Amino acid sequence: MPQYHTVDAVADRFNRSPRTIRDWINHGCRTPEGTIRLQAAKLGKSWVVKREWLDFFEFQIKPRPPVAELDLDG
């Protein structure tokens, strides 16, 4: 059975306000690679986020270490 998180639970996980989480759902989160939206489902008047969606969103917004240049001539 899928596990769902409330906006408040997601806000606690990211140390952000629930308003910020709703903004990420509706408008996206800006990253150097572009704007990433948090996938969520409306359940009555509340948003819920499936665990897999949350994990994927976190992976997308996490800063990636720079990749070293390859020396193809050497």
pTM confidence score: 0.80
Per-residue pLDDT of the chain (74 residues; tens, 9 = 90+): 679 999 999 999 999 999 999 999 999 999 888 999 999 999 999 999 999 999 999 999 887 777 677 666 65
Q: Which residues of 5-26 are buried (b: 16+ CB within 10 A; e: fewer)?
A: bebeebbeebeeeeeebbebbe
Q: 31 forms bridges with which residues in the sheet?
A: 34
